[in-house]
Chain A
């Protein structure tokens, strides 16, 4: 399989058939909590994409070259969360120093990324499936893109929903969950899709 085919098939798998929100049900908290406005959804989605990609690659490197040779696989939960927390902290400091406007724009979302299930979840998925390094790099980037897409779709719908006449007891989270259900149904229709055998 040449590299272009690999990239395209990984893109389709990671964004559509194995969407992080609708297939793995990771990252539901930010998906419901931060998706009220498209702008904030975009900021959050981009941050998460970056953190997922970087932390999956770092976790993979640490796992294969540090934990496996010394037979310390059971320490992975501890080390992965440390890597993610350290990376987020480092990004926060770098952004504060070099791109203060973006830092201000992201505000509270940056520290929240540490406790996003999607980040740790993707790092685990990538290692459980024993992906080669190149596949893993693209997979983790596209998983982030899938999360970004889900967040933006949801925020677009919710912005319109504010004007709609929703039953009183469904206001807020319940109606957002109903929308998520319909979106998940649509995405589950794509599962099992395979363009390149």
Chain B
């Protein structure tokens, strides 16, 4: 009896872990906010001119996302259905104000560059989308996990763009020169360079994805073929 109980508990934990694993993978890779969902494009293009800016905006967005997911999953059932979107927006705006004030106090240098985008985290589609699609109907710990994984996906995308653009623009990384004597390509520091980098990265992701899907298809076809041949052989015997 106890063995059955323990095995059931193990099964439950395993199932829960599977769900958690799925949430993490979903947020970072399969439904990546930048490259797959194409959400929250304004800060992606506006703040990735250097790695440092991209890093801090990613951290701020991530913090707001995790906290808003937590709060909304806690109060989700209390809020009437009709006014839920305004309520979510107020919760998100409050959190953004907190982050905005904190950045202004502790990192004034960074704030002067990315401040205008920090204020725009309020209207970042990712946060409202996660609140509406996940946090409102799920338990707090899963919502935190979801916020974390989607936020990390966004953060990693921002940092990738930041690294590429800062290297190409000035030959620097986080402000330190890597290639001395590098003249630099100015457009990568401007909006045009952001569009170009994002376009090429997205195309690369699409290319890799289509290759993986092709491989899977071939494997499935081969599996089917071998199954059929086994069956027909069985029939003859």
| A contacts, CB < 8 Å to B | 22-29, 32-33, 74-75, 77-78, 81-82, 85, 114-117, 119-121, 124-125, 128, 167-171, 173-175, 177-178, 180-182, 184-185, 188
Contact = CB atoms under 8 A, between A and B. Distances in A.
A177 B195 contact: yes
Contacts of A82: 86, 89-90, 93
Given A117-B120, A181-B199, A168 B210 contact: yes
B145 interface: no
B116 A120 contact: no
Given A74-B101, A78-B94, A25 B206 contact: no
Contacts of B41: 28-29, 32
A77 B91 CA distance: 12
A25 B86 CA distance: 26
Contact of A170 (B44, B93, B120, B203): B203
B198 interface: yes
Given A32-B38, A121-B116, A177-B198, A116 B123 contact: yes
Contact of A184 (B123, B195, B202, B206): B195
15 contacts: A28-B41, A28-B45, A29-B41, A82-B93, A120-B119, A121-B116, A124-B119, A168-B210, A169-B203, A169-B207, A170-B199, A174-B199, A174-B202, A180-B195, A181-B195
Contact of B100 (A24, A77, A175): A77
Given A117-B42, A120-B119, A25 B194 contact: yes
Interface string B198-221: 111011101100100000000000
B52 interface: no
Interface stretch (B53-61, B185-193, B225-233): B185-193
Given A82-B90, A174-B199, A188 B191 contact: yes
A178 B94 contact: no
Contacts of B191: 22-23, 25, 184, 188
Contacts of A178: 195-196, 199
A81 to B, nearest CB: 5
Contacts of B198: 177
A85 B88 CA distance: 12
A7 to B, nearest CB: 26
Contacts of B116: 121, 124-125, 128
A168 B187 CA distance: 26
Interface in B153-199: 187, 190-196, 198-199
A177 B204 CA distance: 14
Given A28-B42, A82-B90, A85-B85, 20 more contacts: A25-B45, A25-B191, A28-B44, A28-B45, A74-B101, A77-B97, A77-B119, A78-B90, A78-B97, A81-B123, A85-B86, A114-B123, A115-B128, A117-B123, A121-B42, A174-B202, A180-B195, A181-B193, A182-B192, A188-B192
